[in-house]
Chains A and B, each alone.
Chain A
Amino acid sequence: MIPFESFTLDNGLKVIVHEDHSTPMAAFNLLYKVGARDEHPEKTGFAHLFEHLMFGGSRHVPQFDEPLQRVGGDNNAFTSNDITNYYITLPAVNLETAFWLESDRMLSLSFDPKVLEVQRSVVIEEFKQRYLNQPYGDAWLKLRPLAYKKHPYRWATIGKEIAHIEQATMADVKEFFYTYYLPNNAVLVVAGDISLVEVQRLAEKWFGPIPAGAEVKRNIPPEPVQSEYRQLEVEENVPVDALYMTFHMPGRTDPQYHATDLLSDVLGRGKSSRLYQQLLQKKRIFNSISAHVSGSVDPGLLVIEGKLNGGHSIEEGEEAIWNLIEDFKQHELGKAEVEKVKNKAESTLVFSELELLNRAMNLAYAEMLGDANLVNQEREMIRKVRPEDIQRQAEHLLVRENASVLRYKSNQLSNEN
């Protein structure tokens, strides 16, 4: 249970306050409702590049990081396909510094051309470090456009290609800022050793004067229902063959979301899961195997991924997974197995709420979904799922016409050991 109170400023900024006086710290989390799904198909990677520019100085404050470090604070940010999230932790006595810095960059950036040039290079190096200079690092760059044909989830947050980052202009930067970085398109969560009254005062003082902008209108093309099995085969300089299978599934707020999430757990969460026990431990076809869900706001993906053991082909691996899926559908799912994955899901929640900053992030994310109190209903929603709900999702989703399969083959000479 995360207790909180909330209020909304006249300019539309939603503010959520979670008091916790067992710590001397405060967490300050500002979520903007904009992500890679809002990008133009020819200007991908922009939401993330923009996140970098947010640290390059604002209208009245030339430096974002240093004044925060001076008061003992630390900060970072991340961009996903759905959101851009900025967070700060600092000694609660210095809370006002966070208000000062974050409100100024919501008001206006410095739009310094040198910052754009440098961050463009930094992001290109990030692209290489994370996606190109790692074995299998580009698997998702290939998988997304296989699974999604229309929806902007077809590109990753880093972007489709380096060229898009290279071509970003200052005009793009400004347009993006004035469209999305608005008080009425953001959620602020302040948590820790603070009080509601103090947060109200500081929010009015620093964010109150920022004018609201035009309501953000999204026109995101929905992904058409997939009707054919899709497969892509690539050969790369990687040590062993890898297999990725994705299945379209409901979005984060759909009533069937939790049943689908638990389905992925039964199949492939951890060492007691079916995929691990059957295909890695018993049959030894795979060397690693797991399943998870993407958890995106719009309809997402259930993913099964594994690396093959030497002597077993990718075809054999895929066949074995399909057989396991068929077996799953044909036998009634036992209560004990469902209880196990529910317990794990529940304890994951408990552990995710230990850290103050995580609680702040969870509240902001839930509010973005529609209601901050969803964080406190999550356990109940997991508990309510029945074995037959999970089974139905399996029958419905885990079919060939809904599958997109990436066969990521090794072109290295096998060195059997």
Chain B
Amino acid sequence: MLDRTQAPSVQQVQKISLPPIEKFSLPGGGNLYAYPEKNTEAFRIELLTKGSNLNAQNAAEVQLAIKMLLEGTNRYSGAQLSEKIDELGSFVEITPGFDHSSISIYGLKKHFNENIGLLSDIIYESSFHDQALNTLKEKEQNRLKLNMQKGSYTSSVNLRNALFKDHPYGYRLYPSDINSINSQQLQTFHKNYTCSFDIFLSGDLPSNYYQIISGYFSKRQPEVPKQFETPSFKESNAPKDTSHRDSKFVQSSIKLGKRLFTRSSPDYFRFMVANELLGGFFGSRLMKNIREDKGYTYGIYSSLYPLNHSGYFVISTDVKAEYEQETIREIYKEIKRLQEEPVSAQELEVVKNYMIGNYLNAISSPFSIITKYKTLATQSLPTDFYNNYLEAINNTSREDIQQVLSTHLQTESLTRSISGFI
């Protein structure tokens, strides 16, 4: 007779290592990192550029500079460019960012050369036409207007802005900034920053991929001066309240956060385990309490966002308006409980195994291995950083959890940003 109350035995994951990749220098500066994965028929190429918040005057400059790349080159109009991309069955992704902005193409192997040629055209021959810029600005203004009506957007932008103030990590979009940008300014930004990039390539590649890539991306890259850090990083991380009230909100979008650290922090892995327990996954303390016990929300999560020069931590949830304050009290209670009472060995084991399984899954999906190398390369981490993952997670003790949360997550240190009713 089958005993359904007995769980099948658990097999531990013994070792995880990141497979090696290939690295080359590009003729005009910058590196090419490549991870060939056969039999997928598809590949991804990403230009990771310095055209990011760190080098920009405001968020609008970054957004428009990178998005204008798809609005036309000296050879193709914006319409023709879109036509070309679709004919090849390719997908283009534009990502403005804090440390880097990137442009990626997901393409079919059989059109490798055409895709690379097109990407080279996009980055080196971008036309920045005034009329295309005006249309794009109009689109961006409308997108911003729409976002400003979403509590989840305003609460998150307000929080980041409060944490980083005038530092580029704190930039937010303003309609006036979008309006005042001209194509001359964007071209200068493009030439000085976006044209400085590394290339990350993975998937089904032709054997002579390096020749092809170095042929198309051979131009001399601009020297980008060391990215600046403003003094605001050194100021105290004082708690603030940046709540935004509007009668149209049906729920309260709550964000609690603070500035924390990068992946280089000695506390990084221990904090990751502690964060997972607090709000990192579906079985977290916060999810169990606020959703699964009380039913106040559809979901609640906490995350650490490690950037190149700093990092920030956020707890995020959308709750029934009348339970807004109680939810915040419960969040504080859960943090204090993890600081004061050691977690059971059983709970800690669940969270560690979950993280390890998740990591194993994350590095076995297509294009994900190169992403890990991207993090290593851009955040100046030791090459064995990810290979130590398993050990670092497993070595985290119950005391570590208490200690790391007591050090970094005193509830009084959290900044509060709510978009809600009243």
Contact = CB atoms under 8 A, between A and B. Distances in A.
A129 B298 contact: yes
A330 to B, nearest CB: 22
B281 A272 contact: no
B251 A129 contact: yes
B86 A272 contact: yes
Contact of B360 (A91, A121, A133, A276): A91
Contact of B151 (A90, A133, A350, A351): A133
Given A70-B10, A70-B354, A118-B295, A270 B142 contact: no
A205 B248 contact: no
A267 to B, nearest CB: 13
Contact of A281 (B2, B79, B141, B320): B79
A134 B148 CA distance: 11
A413 B405 CA distance: 47
Contact of A60 (B4, B283, B360): B4
Nearest to A209: B2
A130 B5 CA distance: 37
A135 B139 contact: no
A125 B108 contact: no
Nearest to A117: B295
- Do most interface residues of chain A lie in helix, strand or loop, or is the interface mixed? helix
Nearest to A131: B250
A417 B175 contact: yes
A339 B249 CA distance: 46
Contact of A25 (B87, B248, B282, B360): B360
B86 A71 contact: no
Contacts of A205: 2
Contacts of A417: 141, 175, 179
Interface residues of A, number: 77
A90 B298 contact: no
A240 B142 contact: yes
Given A125-B320, A270-B86, A97 B7 contact: yes
A100 B4 contact: yes
Given A121-B296, A129-B251, A354-B40, A69 B350 contact: yes
A104 interface: yes
A67 interface: yes
B318 interface: yes
B311 interface: no
B295 A309 contact: no
Interface string B138-179: 110110011011110000000000000000000000010001
Contacts of A93: 11, 13
A239 interface: yes
B248 A237 contact: yes
From B7, B148, B150, name the one whose CB has the most chain A CB atoms within 10 angstroms: B7
Interface string B68-91: 001000000011001101111111
Contacts of A129: 251, 297-298, 318
B95 interface: no
B365 interface: yes
A354 B79 CA distance: 29
A91 B350 contact: no
Contact of B86 (A59, A343, A356): A343
Nearest to B41: A350
B185 interface: no
Interface string B33-51: 0000001111000000000
Contact of A107 (B4, B83, B142): B4
A237 B79 CA distance: 34
A61 B250 contact: no
B266 interface: no
A339 to B, nearest CB: 7
B82 A272 contact: yes
B408 interface: no
Contacts of A206: 2
Contact of B357 (A23, A91, A96, A354): A91
Interface stretch (B254-262, B286-294, B335-343): B286-294
Contacts of A277: 79, 82
A119 B295 contact: yes
Given A61-B5, A97-B8, A133-B250, A71 B142 contact: no
A272 B357 contact: no
B389 to A, nearest CB: 13
Contacts of B218: none
From B4, B282, B294, B367, name the one whose CB has the most chain A CB atoms within 10 angstroms: B4
A343 B135 contact: no
Interface string B240-271: 00000000111101000000000000000000
A409 interface: no
Interface string A65-82: 111011111100000000
A310 to B, nearest CB: 8
B233 to A, nearest CB: 34
Interface string A280-305: 11001001100000000000000000
Given A61-B4, A340-B86, A25 B361 contact: yes
B86 A288 contact: no
A107 B2 CA distance: 13
A1 B360 CA distance: 25
A323 interface: no
B349 interface: yes
B7 A25 contact: no
B366 interface: yes
A125 B353 contact: no
B154 to A, nearest CB: 12
B392 to A, nearest CB: 16
A71 B353 contact: yes
Contacts of B296: 121, 125
Nearest to B144: A239
B394 to A, nearest CB: 12
Nearest to B351: A69
Given A24-B360, A272-B86, A125 B295 contact: yes
Q: Nearest 3 pairs between A and B by C-beta?
A: A72-B357, A121-B295, A347-B89
Given A130-B298, A135-B150, A284-B135, 12 more contacts: A72-B357, A72-B358, A94-B10, A100-B7, A118-B291, A121-B294, A129-B251, A271-B82, A277-B79, A287-B138, A344-B86, A356-B364
Interface of A: 22-25, 59-61, 65-67, 69-74, 89-91, 93-94, 96-97, 99-100, 103-104, 107, 117-123, 125-126, 128-130, 132-135, 205-206, 209, 237-240, 270-272, 276-277, 280-281, 284, 287-288, 307, 309, 339-341, 343-344, 346-348, 350-351, 354-356, 417
